[in-house]
Amino acid sequence: MSEPDGATSVLVELRAVTKRYGSLIANNGVDLSLRAGEVHGILGENGAGKTTLMRILYGLTRPDQGQVLVDGESVTIRSPRDAIGAGIGMVAQHFSLVTPMTVAENLTLGRPQGLLIDLEAARAKVDEAADRFGIRVRADARVADLSVGEQQRVEILKALAGDCRVLILDEPTAVLVPQEVSGLFATLRRLTAAGLAVAFISHKLSEVLDVTQRVTVLRRGKVVGTVATADTDERQLATMMVGRPAAPAESAARSPGDTALRVTALDALGRQGLAALKGVSFSVAKGEILGIAGVSGNGQSELAEVLSGMRLPTAGSIEIDGRNIAGFNPRRMMAAGIGRIAEDRYAAVVPDLSVAYNLVLEHLDEFRRGALLDETRIRANADEMISRFGIVSGPDDPVRKLSGGNLQKVLLARVLSRNPKVLMVSQPTRGLDVGATEYVRGEIVAQAQRGAGIVLISEDLDELLALSDRLVVFYEGRVVGELAAAGADPEQLGLLMARGSAA
Amino acid sequence: MSIWRRRLWLAAGVLILTFLVTVPFLLMAGVNPFAAYARFLFVPLTSRFGLLEVGVASIPLLFTGAAVALAFRAGYWNIGAEGQLLLGAIAAAGIGARVDGLASPLALTLVLAGGALAGAVWALVPALLRVRYDIDEVVTTLLLNPVALLVVEGLLNGPWRDPVTRFPESPRIAASAEMPVLIPGSRLHLGFLIGLVIIAGLGFVISRTRAGLELKAVGLSPVAARFAGINVARTLVAAALISGAIAGLGGAGEVAGIQYRLTGGLSAGFGYTGIVVATLGALRMGGVALVALLLGDLTVGASSASRALGIPSQAGDIVAAAVLLVTVAMVAINRYGLRQNRTAP
């Protein structure tokens, strides 16, 4: 699928780049070239290795193997300073602006220029950028007063300052509203017209098709292929991205019963105060596993937080046994029968407390004698859970010493020993090794067989397809599709996830 | 256990480094550093009078150290023990001067309860600002300290000024409101015992009760505590109020046990030293008691050294400050594994 590169126009090239994190291979022999005058889309599911690759290019991470070539010459990029020196700039997902300062002041930060700051030069840069690239921001505006889209423009200006010829944008549209997206795309076109290369990371097909000239698709750390945007379409890209036949479902033995959980017209705000859930409705039957599919950042985390009682919904209802529990705090959520396995395991345990204490932290009422802790029963409970769930640790070990798999077992033990009516699990096997993954999945299926209604939120499509009876697809905070997991068409699923519609 | 061996090494390192850091100052003061350290640390412990005075000097530090350690364990950074202690002292002086007719246990109880209550009230506003509006309690509790001192000076230069001598001192409290002395002929008063009992009680609460476990969980990981259904805001406010009450009790103890009235110099920075005590004591109640006694020893030793060797009594302060700085540095190195960054800039 790839085509010969015009050697003169290639600004930056990665050759056979490999990066391992422990047993995980984030990048596996990745080749990528960025040409002058192109927006190059880097497309892939979460965990496909897009961000790692860009971090390598920008010097935030060192590759284990492979070469980086700038203008055809092999270079070693040890730090962002090296990258900037080589003409590479990056706008990360999370901005690094000093918000009480003005735009011009932010642009002078971190630029070695002697003792005095030259705000006039910074203002001149802002004007120049407006002329050349159509990037319009007021140089004397306080960053805190700017919209997210404007702040992004300041970040782009920062990256362009110096002698930037290659601009990396890590999911730049994730934080933008649609009007700002079109403004960003106009800017990118002007930048490439001026001869820059832009690496555009995304997992939204429509955006990639809209703004790029070439697309490189990554899956599980490897390059699936590089295609010219003009020669491809959403279906091909979706298949490349998801790229597998549907896995056989393990769910045949279960027979879903009455409704266990019903969510109706749920609205909630996200971390930035923007709407993250917009009228989400679904229901889960007793004994059913409902998979929540979607590219990350489309409301799944917020759904998990709402169902955990950690985030208050702004509208809608959550019903268990016909009772609306929307707006309950974590304690009352648990009392209503929801068991919660959080996405961030370390935010669900107190790492410096012992395994025994963490196992009872959600139900201290039952492990006390008056005001005192009932140490005997806490100990007995820990011994029982450690043997029943095969946790490799002693009861008095601090949880921080546990491996990811053992930590997840502690959390499962804490929740499953209560026989919850509804089990909400978010990214249950992320980062776990094969053995722990199998164990955790087995426990989830066993809970369904016991009769719990299960909401399974996962970015691992294999996992969703293998465990779920039914899938709902989240896109931009809405449920955009619902399909049976058995025999789900990967192309249809990929389109729903990346575009919000399968048509 | 290797962790205890490690702590032992840490303690030895702290002592040696502190000694090295302070040697230049002692040499500048013209004394033999070894002789000075012998005075600071050992001489007070060699006489009955010295030992009792060490106890006396440690009393306010037992209270403020316990107060700060409790709040810190909950992740509530109460830097306001000084102000809370002063408010406790004001209440104790005010009540103590008005309980003339009452029997001793009742009068003293009223004085102490008033001191505790006043300290808690002084701690309440920062705690509420923190849990309601997420306003940093480090700033608010710290800034209330000079305010408390101004209240003290306002009272002493205004309504409570001695009408006869015109000294800025409040009227003497009733005899029935005075702390009984534990050992006749000394200044070691009941506050010493109360402080130790409070420390033992807090140690028990923190390690053995449900509230203590919730407090630790909130301090170590507020997100996880909230996830587990613990009421984080209520835990923080409770910790702040109890912390303020204990500091206030410390102030009341100084009034009822030592000064018998409110004076401008009632607190020699006991609230701030409490932070030192809590930090050096590793926020453990046993550690707090030990460090309070150690600093009491140092205080008595420094004043004896200044008399015997003719060096400024501030030398004791320098040693105490050096102990803190060295400890904090060693703990930080130990915890974060600081090592020199050898990669090119």
Query: What pLDDT score was predicted for residue B334?
Result: 65
Side-chain half-sphere CA neighbours of B236 within 13 A: 25
Length of chain A, please?
503
Q: Hey, are the CB atoms on B208 and A373 less than 8 Å from each other? A: yes
Highest mean pLDDT: which range of A110-114, A184-188, B144-148: B144-148
> For residue A378, which residues of chain B lie inside 8 Å, CB to CB?
none
How many CB atoms lie under 10 A from the CB of residue A160? Answer: 22
Q: Hey, are the CB atoms on B208 and A372 less than 8 Å from each other? A: yes
Question: Chain B neighbours among A 27-86 (CB < 8 Å)?
Answer: 78
Q: How far apart are CA A30 and CA A67, in angstroms?
A: 10
> For residue A330, which residues of chain B lie inside 8 Å, CB to CB?
226-229
Residue A324, strand partner residues: A319
Question: Is A413 part of the contact surface with chain B (CB cutoff 8 Å)?
Answer: no
Question: Is A112 part of the contact surface with chain B (CB cutoff 8 Å)?
Answer: no
Nearest by Cα to A225 from A237, A211, A213, A210: A237
Q: Hey, are the CB atoms on A373 and B343 less than 8 Å from each other? A: no
Q: Residues A243-271: what's their mean pLDDT?
A: 73
Suggest the residue from A350, A355, A367 to mutate for an interface test with chain B (most B CBs closer than 10 A).
A350
> For residue A349, which residues of chain B lie inside 8 Å, CB to CB?
221, 224
Query: What pLDDT score was predicted for residue B2?
Result: 57
Q: Hey, are the CB atoms on B209 and A347 less than 8 Å from each other? A: no
**Helices B314-336, B270-280: inter-axial angle, 10-degree rounding:** 40
Which residue of chain A is at minimal alpha-carbon distance from B220?
Answer: A350
Please give the distance of CA A316 from its chain centroid, rounded to a whole number.
25
Q: Identify the CATH number of the domain in which residue B219 sits.
A: 1.10.3470
Q: Residues B316-343: what's their mean pLDDT?
A: 68
Q: Are strands A73-75 and A65-70 parallel, antiparallel or unpaired?
A: antiparallel
Which superfamily does CATH assign the domain made up of A7-242 to? P-loop containing nucleotide triphosphate hydrolases (3.40.50.300)
Residue found by looking up tokens 């249950």 in the block: A428
Query: What pLDDT score was predicted for residue B323?
Result: 80
- A499 or A167: which carries more pLDDT confidence? A167
- Asked, colleague to colleague, whether A7-242 and A247-337+420-503 share their fold, the answer is yes
Q: Hey, are the CB atoms on A372 and B209 less than 8 Å from each other? A: yes
Q: How far apart are CA B306 and CA A155, in angstroms?
A: 61
Are residues B266 and B89 in contact, defined by beta-carbon separation less than 8 angstroms?
yes
Q: Hey, are the CB atoms on A348 and B214 less than 8 Å from each other? A: no
Name the strand (E) or helix (H) holding B317.
helix B314-336
**Helices A404-416, A434-450: inter-axial angle, 10-degree rounding:** 10
Closest partner residue to B209 (CB to CB) among A331, A348, A373 is A373
Q: Hey, are the CB atoms on B228 and A373 less than 8 Å from each other? A: no
Distance of residue B211 Cα from the nearest chain A Cα, in angstroms:
7
Q: Residues A405-429: what's their mean pLDDT?
A: 93
pLDDT higher than threshold 90 for residue B245: yes
Domains of chain A, residue spans: 7-242, 247-337+420-503, 346-419
Q: How far apart are CA B179 and CA B165, in angstroms?
A: 26
Highest mean pLDDT: which range of A83-97, A270-284, A366-380, B234-248: B234-248
Q: How far apart are CA A390 and CA A384, in angstroms?
A: 10
Query: What pLDDT score was predicted for residue B305?
Result: 83
Question: Is A310 part of the contact surface with chain B (CB cutoff 8 Å)?
Answer: yes
Whether ipTM tops 0.95, in short, is: no
Closest partner residue to B229 (CB to CB) among A331, A346, A347 is A331
Closest partner residue to A368 (CB to CB) among B210, B221, B231 is B210
Query: Of the given ranges (A37-41, A95-99, A209-213, A474-478), which has the lowest mean pLDDT?
Result: A95-99
State the pLDDT confidence band at A503, using cuts at 50, 70 and 90: low
Nearest by Cα to A107 from A116, A329, A98: A98
At A167 the three-state DSSP class reads: strand
> For residue B214, which residues of chain A lie inside 8 Å, CB to CB?
364
Suggest the residue from A271, A353, A360, A361 to mutate for an interface test with chain B (most B CBs closer than 10 A).
A361
Compute, in degrees rounded to 10, the torsion defined by CA atoms B285, B4, A358, A394.
-150
Nearest by Cα to A415 from A358, A367, A471, A374: A358
Suggest the residue from B73, B204, B209, B221 to mutate for an interface test with chain A (most A CBs closer than 10 A).
B221
pLDDT higher than threshold 60 for residue B345: no
Distance of residue B206 Cα from the nearest chain A Cα, in angstroms:
10
> For residue A336, which residues of chain B lie inside 8 Å, CB to CB?
none
Side-chain half-sphere CA neighbours of A352 within 13 A: 10
Q: Hey, are the CB atoms on A361 and B209 less than 8 Å from each other? A: no
> For residue B2, which residues of chain A lie inside 8 Å, CB to CB?
none
Query: Of the given ranges (A16-20, B148-152, B285-289, B314-318), which has the lowest mean pLDDT?
Result: B314-318
Q: Residues B310-338: what's their mean pLDDT?
A: 74
Residue found by looking up tokens 């169902």 in the block: A307
> For residue A350, which residues of chain B lie inside 8 Å, CB to CB?
216-217, 220-221, 224-225
pLDDT higher than threshold 60 for residue A486: yes
Q: How far apart are CA A263 and CA A270, in angstroms?
A: 18
State the pLDDT confidence band at B3, using cuts at 50, 70 and 90: low
Query: What pLDDT score was predicted for residue A491?
Result: 78
Q: Hey, are the CB atoms on A347 and B221 less than 8 Å from each other? A: yes
> For residue A310, which residues of chain B lie inside 8 Å, CB to CB?
226-227
Question: Is B297 part of the contact surface with chain A (CB cutoff 8 Å)?
Answer: no
Query: What pLDDT score was predicted for residue A295?
Result: 82
Q: Residues B163-188: what's their mean pLDDT?
A: 91
Query: What pLDDT score was predicted for residue B194?
Result: 97
Query: What pLDDT score was predicted for residue A247?
Result: 45
State the pLDDT confidence band at B335, using cuts at 50, 70 and 90: low
> For residue A342, which residues of chain B lie inside 8 Å, CB to CB?
227
User: For B12-24, how does the pLDDT look when each residue is reduced to its tens digit (9 = 90+)?
Assistant: 888 888 889 989 9
Residue A470: phi and psi, rounded to 5, are -140, 150
pLDDT higher than threshold 50 for residue A3: no
> For residue A357, which residues of chain B lie inside 8 Å, CB to CB?
213, 217
State the pLDDT confidence band at B340, using cuts at 50, 70 and 90: very low
Q: Which two tokens stand for residue B289?
A: 């008691």
Q: B62, exposed or middle or buried, with CB in 10 Å at 0-12, 13-18, 19+?
A: buried
Mean pLDDT across chain A: 87
Identify whether B163 is part of a domain: yes
> For residue B220, which residues of chain A lie inside 8 Å, CB to CB?
350-353
User: For A313-343, how does the pLDDT look when each residue is reduced to its tens digit (9 = 90+)?
Assistant: 999 999 998 899 999 999 999 999 999 999 8
- The pLDDT > 70 percentage for chain A reads 93
Question: Is B221 part of the contact surface with chain A (CB cutoff 8 Å)?
Answer: yes
Exposure string for A137-146, b = 16+ CB within 10 A, e = fewer:
bebeeebeeb
Q: How far apart are CA B6 and CA B186, in angstroms?
A: 40
State the pLDDT confidence band at A113, using cuts at 50, 70 and 90: low
Query: What pLDDT score was predicted for residue B309?
Result: 81
Nearest by Cα to A308 from A344, A277, A340: A340
State the pLDDT confidence band at B141, using cuts at 50, 70 and 90: very high
Are residues A274 and A442 in contact, defined by beta-carbon separation less than 8 angstroms?
no
Mean pLDDT across chain B: 90
Identify whether B344 is part of a domain: no
Q: Hey, are the CB atoms on A348 and B224 less than 8 Å from each other? A: yes
Q: Which two tokens stand for residue A344?
A: 């961030």
Nearest by Cα to A463 from A278, A251, A263, A308: A251
Q: What angle do CA B152, B153, B157 make, to 5 degrees?
A: 125
Q: Hey, are the CB atoms on A364 and B214 less than 8 Å from each other? A: yes
Query: What pLDDT score was predicted for residue A244?
Result: 58
User: For A264-307, how does the pLDDT look when each residue is reduced to its tens digit (9 = 90+)?
Assistant: 999 999 877 889 999 999 999 999 999 999 887 899 999 999 99
DSSP annotation string for B57-124: HHHHHHHHHHHHHHHHHTT-----HHHHHHHHHHHHHHHHTT-TTS-HHHHHHHHHHHHHHHHHHHHH
Q: Hey, are the CB atoms on B344 and A78 less than 8 Å from each other? A: yes
User: For B225-244, how does the pLDDT look when each residue is reduced to its tens digit (9 = 90+)?
Assistant: 999 999 999 999 999 999 99
User: For A150-167, how does the pLDDT look when each residue is reduced to its tens digit (9 = 90+)?
Assistant: 888 889 988 887 778 999
Q: Hey, are the CB atoms on B213 and A373 less than 8 Å from each other? A: yes
Q: How far apart are CA B240 and CA B42, in angstroms?
A: 37
pLDDT higher than threshold 50 for residue B206: yes
> For residue B232, which residues of chain A lie inside 8 Å, CB to CB?
none
Which residue of chain A is at minimal alpha-carbon distance from B229?
Answer: A331
Query: What pLDDT score was predicted for residue B342?
Result: 40
How many CB atoms lie under 10 A from the CB of residue A498? Answer: 24
Are residues A431 and A404 in contact, defined by beta-carbon separation less than 8 angstroms?
yes
Find the domain containing B327 and state its range.
2-336
Are residues B261 and B169 in contact, defined by beta-carbon separation less than 8 angstroms?
yes
Closest partner residue to A350 (CB to CB) among B209, B221, B229 is B221
Closest partner residue to A361 (CB to CB) among B209, B217, B223 is B217
Identify whether B341 is part of a domain: no
- The pLDDT > 70 percentage for chain B reads 94
> For residue A334, which residues of chain B lie inside 8 Å, CB to CB?
229
State the pLDDT confidence band at A115, using cuts at 50, 70 and 90: low
Name the fold adopted by A247-337+420-503: Rossmann fold (3.40.50)
Interface contacts A/B by beta carbons within 8 Å: 67
> For residue B202, which residues of chain A lie inside 8 Å, CB to CB?
none
Nearest by Cα to A340 from B217, B218, B229, B215: B229
Query: What pLDDT score was predicted for residue A7?
Result: 42
Provide the number of structural domains found in chain B: 1
Closest partner residue to B220 (CB to CB) among A331, A342, A352 is A352
Q: How far apart are CA A247 and CA A102, in angstroms?
A: 53
Q: How far apart are CA A121 and CA A157, in angstroms?
A: 13
Q: A491, exposed or middle or buried, with CB in 10 Å at 0-12, 13-18, 19+?
A: middle
Suggest the residue from B205, B210, B214, B341 to mutate for an interface test with chain A (most A CBs closer than 10 A).
B210
Query: Of the given ranges (A205-219, A283-297, A470-484, B316-330), which has the lowest mean pLDDT?
Result: B316-330
Which residue of chain B is at minimal alpha-carbon distance from A362?
Answer: B228
Q: How far apart are CA A95 and CA B295, in angstroms?
A: 47
pLDDT higher than threshold 50 for residue A5: no
State the pLDDT confidence band at A11, using cuts at 50, 70 and 90: very high
State the pLDDT confidence band at A437, using cuts at 50, 70 and 90: confident
DSSP annotation string for A364-410: GGGSEETTEE-HHHHHHHHHHHHHHTT--S-TTSBGGGS-HHHHHHH
Please give the distance of CA A341 from its chain centroid, rounded to a whole number.
17
Query: Of the given ranges (B86-95, B96-105, B302-311), which has the lowest mean pLDDT?
Result: B302-311
pLDDT higher than threshold 50 for residue A13: yes
Question: Is A371 part of the contact surface with chain B (CB cutoff 8 Å)?
Answer: yes
State the pLDDT confidence band at A120, using cuts at 50, 70 and 90: confident
Q: Residues A79-87: what's their mean pLDDT?
A: 89
Query: Of the given ranges (A130-134, A183-187, B47-51), which has the lowest mean pLDDT?
Result: A130-134
Q: How far apart are CA B313 and CA A446, in angstroms?
A: 72
Query: What pLDDT score was predicted for residue A121?
Result: 80
Q: How far apart are CA A380 and CA A369, in angstroms?
A: 15
Q: Residues B141-159: what's their mean pLDDT?
A: 95
Query: What pLDDT score was predicted for residue B81?
Result: 97
Identify whether B65 is part of a domain: yes
